Structure 1
Amino acid sequence: MVTAVMQPYIFPYLGYFQMINASDTFVFYDDVQFIKGGWINRNRIIVGNQVKYFTIPLLKATPNKLINEIYIDTHSKDFKNILKTINQSYKKSPYFTDVFPLLEDTFAGTENRIGEMAINSIKNVSEYLGISTLFLKSSVEFKDITGLERTARLIEICNSTNADYYINAPGGRELYSKVDFLDKGISLQFIESQLSQYKQGTDEFFAGLSIVDVLMHNSREEVLGMLNLYSLK
């Protein structure tokens, strides 16, 4: 059994979904510290042949709060303009009519916290692609072990999900030791994504954009093929 644990990001890049697809259980780490300037509430798309950020405006977002404690400024003009910008930028893309409803559904949700909106964006995309990974939330299923040290909590999550393998992003190499997990009978592996090029309608290819850009330009089958382009080390 394979488990992965990550903070919820808004329409994250392809590599995030590679991790989901490689896992039997994926835990949204939504009761940890909010990272300002990270990927929780923003990502990148192509606007006018250039890479631009779209950012979900938040209310009083600070690193002193947990992700699931932070609310979206839904009355902001910036929030209301995000869908308009994506519509204008991608309406001529080959899979616009299939993909844009996923965004509309995410933005039209009744939940007004960034953690839930990000989770919904990921679940909507996963359902669209037919990914069957089990999703859990740390704030629900693992709220009783928030007091544990960082590595100890992840090991406990792995034990609770019967994981033999724990997958982490490459940046986790600076935080976690394979030995610590192996001592508990768990193999810690880091996913190395291969981001293949695809037609974006631009003069040059921009890698690592939001999954929105990937979906707009590729069929489900093509995206599913991309999800398998990774290695575990």
Structure 2
Amino acid sequence: MVDSLSIMQPYFFPYLGYFQLLKATDHLVVLDNVQYPKNSWVNRNRLVVNNKPFYVTIPLKKRQSYLNPINEVVISAEFLKWRSKMIKTITQEYSSSPYLKDGIDLFEEATTPSEYVSTIALNSITATAKYLEIDLNYSLNSQSSIALSETKGKDRVIAICKQFNSNNYINLPGGVCLYGHNEFLKHDINLKFIDFASYSNRPGYLSILHLILKFGKEQTMQWVNNHNTKNGGNSV
């Protein structure tokens, strides 16, 4: 039995809220076998270059179908060249930061060459969670017995919760309008959300890597730990 569960696609160095969710939940189900959402956070995120948001985008192999599931999307043959360029860009932009080495080490660990973008995205999550001392337990939905073709939306979430015998599903605030708390209660599942409104001075929606590079481990850990959960969802 898993007390609390979250379900997320594998994002590349996702923003702070993703790691607050990991901190708040007992188990993460990585939704790696749904259709790849083009121009999503699976293969990109934002740092700051020249005082402006800058997309760090993992290059993908051209002429492949984006109808493929995330775990079948292949990276480009130019990946190593891109990786070297990004390390130079990060080093130059954050050169004055005392936390540069930590950030570069994380980036290098996460971007160990792999065939699939899902592996690199997941590496960025697990490496960062370890760095931030988050006890991360996760499983891949691609290894689940649930047939995605037979479930979608809330029904998929409820089916996954039942598979893990979990009575608490925790999501990020973006899901508030997507799910109805009454529908979950019918299945004895409490629908909860990370509460961003419960505290001030929260950094924006840049990559967690930017926070580590700019503010370091201790400050970033404080932000990760400074969260609440609340019951929510629409009235359906």
Tell me, yes or no, whether TM beats 0.5. Answer: yes
- Residue matched to 1:97: 101
**Aligned positions of 1:131-142 closer than 5 A:** 131-140=134-143, 142=144
Structure 2 counterpart of 1:19, one-letter code: L
Residue 18 to residue 102, structure 1, CA distance change in 2 (3 Å): same
Q: State the AA in 1 paired with 2:101.
A: T
Aligned equivalent of 2:17, options 15, 30, 36: 15
Aligned partner letter, 1:210: S
Q: Does residue 1:209 correspond to 2:206, yes or no?
A: yes
Task: Write out aligned runs for 1:65-84 (5 A).
Answer: 65-76=68-79, 77-84=81-88
| SS of corresponding position for 1:218 | helix
Tell me, which stretches of 5 or more residues in structure 2 are unaligned?
231-236
Indicate whether 1:85 and 2:89 are aligned: yes
Q: 1:183 aligns with which of 177, 186, 196?
A: 186
Q: Secondary structure at the match of 2:37?
A: coil
**Selected match of 1:37 from 30, 39, 49:** 39
Q: 1:127 to 1:83 in 2, by over 3 A?
A: same
Determine the structure 2 residue equivalent to 1:159: 162
Runs of 4+ in 1 over 4 A off after TM superposition: 194-198
CA RMSD in angstroms comes to 2.1
After TM superposition, the structure 1 stretch with the greater mean CA deviation from structure 2, 117-126 or 32-41, is 32-41
Unaligned runs of 5+ in 1: 199-205
Could you tell me the percent identity over the aligned residues?
36
Q: TM-score scaled to structure 1, two decimals?
A: 0.87
Give the match's secondary structure for 1:136.
strand
| Distance (Å, rounded) in 1 between the aligned partners of 2:64 and 2:211 | 29
2:175 to 147, 172, 175: 172
* 3-state SS of paired residue (1:122): helix
User: C-alpha distance in 1, partners of 2:184/2:201?
Assistant: 35
User: Could you tell me how far 1:79 is from its partner in structure 2?
Assistant: 4.6
